[in-house]
Chain A
Amino acid sequence: MSTLSATQLRELYRYLYLTRALEERFENLFKQGQIVGGLYRSLGQEATAVGSAYALGEEDWVAPSIRDLGAILVRGVEPRLMLRQYMARDNPMTGGRDNTTHFTVPELGILGPISPLGTQISVLNGVALAFRVRSEDRVCLAYQGDGASRTGAHHEGMNFAAVQDLPMVAVLEHNRWAFSTPSDAEAAVEDWTDVAAAYDVPVEQVDGNHVLEVYDATRRAVGRARDGGGMQLVVAETYRMLGHAQHDDQEYVPGEELEAWRERDPLDRYEAYLDETGVADGERRREIRDDVEAGLDEAVQEALDTPRPEPSDAGSRVWADEDGPRVPWTRRSPVGYDDAPADVPPAARETGGEET
């Protein structure tokens, strides 16, 4: 078992709880119309994101997917900023130009994903190439859902990392569902660790709902990658406890299966562990939760007080050296014959310059 100190074990609890509590705030804010567009939760998968990200060093890089809020929090993005991001308020990560976990924070080693799935490993490969060419002892970690791992981009990225022996760890989040498609319709393999053979990379299978097992397995994989062992795969067995997004009532999921996985809730199980070991009794855990909630109260208020971006912000930051903001010509006022073309020929001015 892990060699984490009692303080670290309590910190892990804090991140697990924070992830869940923050997402519950998101859900309420979504219902109030404060979060627009789609909202994707990671309920039931928190231990996979938190435990694996906790195994990384400060200098390492990570590419989350949409259900890896926990990893982003472990990397150090403050909840108040996540609220501003999810609520389409002004924020330093995207300024409201993209949603959810889609942002990059170089100083925290976070590479933002895009919606076309399976693309993170390929892009992280470039980060790893930079580590290599600079002789830096750093590791990349990419999260991929089982569905995302069926894309061509994913295969290309895995294969490239394996061929190049890059310091890369892929955490395959086997959460059983890709939107409404079960994982046995996504892949013919039953044991998802079998996919590692195609790339000849070391693989470990881990109980994704057990935060310390995830931590331990990822720590080993990260260590191997850092020591020159090349590409590593960790298959985390977990379950998506809610629909794909808020609009999805998940009626296609068998009730008994959901019930069985509810028994394996990562927070409940970790609380039992903290009880057994005496690392944090019920009272101690309540203090942690109260502290998290109080922080979230403040963070939500800050986000509500933060304005949405200026509409015209939409017209800038496409290129580094752009020649001014993009303004639709119909909004440059006043629009009139005399104002629109800068220099109409004199003849045209005489005949057509007058308003008809």
Chain B
Amino acid sequence: MTEGTGSGDGSSTEGEQVTYLEAIRQALWEEMKTDDRVFILGEDVGNYGGAFKITEGFLEEFGDDRIIDTPISESAIVGAAIGAAQMGLRPVAEMQFIDFIAPAFDMLVNFAAKVRYRTGEGAGLVVRGPCGAGARSGPFHSQNVESYFANVAGLKMVAPATVRDAKGLLRSAIRDPDPVLYFEHKHLYRRIKGELPTGEEVEVPLGEARTHREGSDLTVITYGSMVHKAAEAADRLAEEDGVELEVLDLRTLRPLDAGAMVESVKRTNRALVAHEAPGFGGFAGEITAQLNEEAFEWLDAPVRRVTAIDTPVPYSPPLEDYHLPQVEDLATAARWLLSY
């Protein structure tokens, strides 16, 4: 898979083709090189170089004060990141799989998210980890956790879909003065490649959506790996039906770029919201509600969602494929909306 050729990707500069995983590694490496306040802590991030080898070679370069191998203690990892952030450091805490953020829920929801509001002293930290399904890894190595945190004021959340955004959003997240959850999709790690400019910084601010593919007939609002499935569905409908879907990649979930969603839907008059997590209580519900409030008059059809079915993520390939929203589901839903 290669990245979409959408107009908003901005990857036209001369540069090298790198993977999504390499983009994450570069962002971490460069931020650590340029800012000695940045440090990484997590399980197996040092000696082993991270479960996915993202921090391979970091320990040798930066030493064990800045690359900290921790016990299997997600609460202590995030807790230490909060304290260090409050002292002016810029911690990047790794969850080996984002599913394991659950033991740190208290620290994120009750400490990190609320500390600026309560005390005026913020905590600029990043918690990053591999999210998402498709790797045949079962219920505890496949989840998408954004909606668990979506209702908590004080947390920011990003979910890059492209190589460029993987790098640019991580850079912005590390520099941000508030807690940012960075969801990197493990299925994209080595499957997508994109061009990164050499010798210049990739700047992707938090809170700005990106038009992955332009279209005039329907807007697919999505993020993370579903951006690529949406683009595939769009290509299919263009070829088979002669319609043009717009694919809006939110990139940041909080703060949400509601303006970009509303602007696009006001042009296309139809909206399909897609994500890989189950639908019930999922992030698509929030998007749907906002479109209802801000763009109802422009809609020619109800907003529909395409999401995973409402189950844990199963292990066996046919089960997992059934669980996950597929290109076919997106195409069917888009056709339903277009014929409404």
Contact = CB atoms under 8 A, between A and B. Distances in A.
21 contacts: A94-B119, A104-B86, A104-B115, A111-B83, A111-B86, A112-B119, A119-B110, A122-B79, A122-B107, A123-B80, A126-B86, A127-B83, A130-B89, A153-B75, A153-B79, A153-B106, A156-B71, A319-B154, A320-B177, A321-B177, A341-B294
Interface string A168-183: 0000000000000000
A303 interface: no
Most buried by B among A112, A123, A157: A123
Interface string B50-65: 0000000000000001
Nearest to A136: B87
A305 to B, nearest CB: 23
Interface residues of A, number: 46
A115 interface: yes
B121 A104 contact: yes
B82 A126 contact: yes
Most buried by B among A103, A121, A133, A319: A319
B120 interface: yes
A207 B119 CA distance: 34
Contacts of A111: 83, 86
Interface of A: 93-95, 97-98, 102-104, 106, 111-112, 114-116, 119, 121-133, 152-153, 156-157, 159-160, 163-164, 317-321, 323, 341, 344-345, 348
B309 interface: no
Contacts, number: 146
B103 A123 contact: no
Contacts of A160: 70-71, 73, 76-77, 80
B84 A126 contact: yes
Contacts of A319: 116, 122, 154, 156, 178, 255
B86 A317 contact: no
Given A95-B120, A104-B119, A119 B106 contact: yes
B254 to A, nearest CB: 9
A211 B65 CA distance: 37
Nearest to A162: B71
Nearest to A98: B118
B209 to A, nearest CB: 15
A318 B155 CA distance: 9
A121 to B, nearest CB: 8
Given A164-B68, A320-B116, 11 more contacts: A93-B119, A97-B117, A103-B119, A122-B83, A126-B85, A127-B84, A128-B83, A130-B84, A321-B178, A345-B298, A348-B297
A317 B297 contact: no
Contact of A126 (B75, B80, B298): B80
Contacts of B82: 123, 126
B328 to A, nearest CB: 34
A104 B86 CA distance: 10
B275 interface: no
A94 B118 contact: yes
Interface in B79-127: 79-89, 91, 103, 106-107, 110-111, 114-122
A122 B85 CA distance: 13
Contacts of B39: 129, 133
Contact of B154 (A106, A116, A123, A318): A318
Contacts of A153: 75-76, 79, 106-107
Contacts of B89: 126, 129-130, 133
B122 A156 contact: no
Nearest to B72: A156
Contacts of A159: 71, 73, 76
B83 A97 contact: no
B66 interface: yes
Nearest to A128: B83
A97 B121 CA distance: 13
Contacts of B76: 122, 125, 153, 156-157, 159-160
B114 A114 contact: yes
Contacts of A95: 120
B135 interface: no
Nearest to B116: A317
Contacts of B66: 133
Contacts of B116: 317-320
Given A159-B73, A159-B76, A345-B297, A126 B114 contact: no
Most buried by A among B80, B81, B110, B297: B80
Given A102-B118, A318-B117, A125 B86 contact: no
Contacts of A163: 70-71
B319 interface: no
B36 to A, nearest CB: 8
A97 B118 contact: yes
B71 A106 contact: no
A94 B116 CA distance: 9
A323 B107 CA distance: 25
A97 B117 CA distance: 7
B153 interface: yes
A133 B67 CA distance: 11
Contacts of A130: 83-84, 87-89
Given A116-B110, A126-B91, A98 B119 contact: yes
A102 B103 CA distance: 23
B31 to A, nearest CB: 15
Given A126-B87, A127-B84, A341-B294, A119 B79 contact: yes
A283 B84 CA distance: 48
Contacts of A131: 87
Nearest to A345: B297
B65 A320 contact: no
Contacts of B73: 156, 159-160
Interface in B146-191: 153-154, 156, 176-178
